[in-house]
Amino acid sequence: MQTNELLTLVTTELDERKGQSITVIDVKDRSSVTDFMILVTATSERHGQALSNYVVIKVKEQGVKPLGLEGAQGSDWVLLDLGDIVLHIMTTQARDLYQLEKLWSIETRKEEKINI
């Protein structure tokens, strides 16, 4: 599956499952670990776990095996490694505290940051 197709699949699933403030950040030129980061806000820790479960099921249906999943039940931040894409599912409090968009937006050009 192409990276752009995977991006669309993941962001669509997050949107359909009521993920909030879905943001895609292109980090190809700044990271050797991944090409894109997706950040999404979950309404609760349980919602975050459900979002990660739904995404895992959806990508596996397309033959994509997640490389890693971090964030145990009761965590306010779940990280799902899909290779070219790393998904961060965070509660509002965690997203406000860690401010990943700010961290990765060092001189970010508008075309690199896409809000969905």
pLDDT, tens digit (0-9, with 9 covering 90-100), for 37-51: 999 999 999 999 999
Specify the CATH number for the domain of residue 67. Answer: 3.30.460.10
Q: Contact 52/42 with Cβ under 8 angstroms? A: no
Residue whose C-alpha is closest to residue 10's, from 99, 71, 68, 82 = 82
Residue 116 lies in a domain: no
Give me the domain span that covers residue 38.
3-109
Q: Report pLDDT digits (tens) over 72-115.
A: 677 899 999 999 999 999 999 999 999 888 877 754 444 455 55
Residue 114 lies in a domain: no
Tokens of 17: 């499952």
What is the spatial distance between Cα 68 and Cα 86, in angstroms, rounded to a whole number?
Answer: 10
Residue 22 lies in a domain: yes
Residue 84 lies in a domain: yes
User: Domains in the chain: how many in total?
Assistant: 1
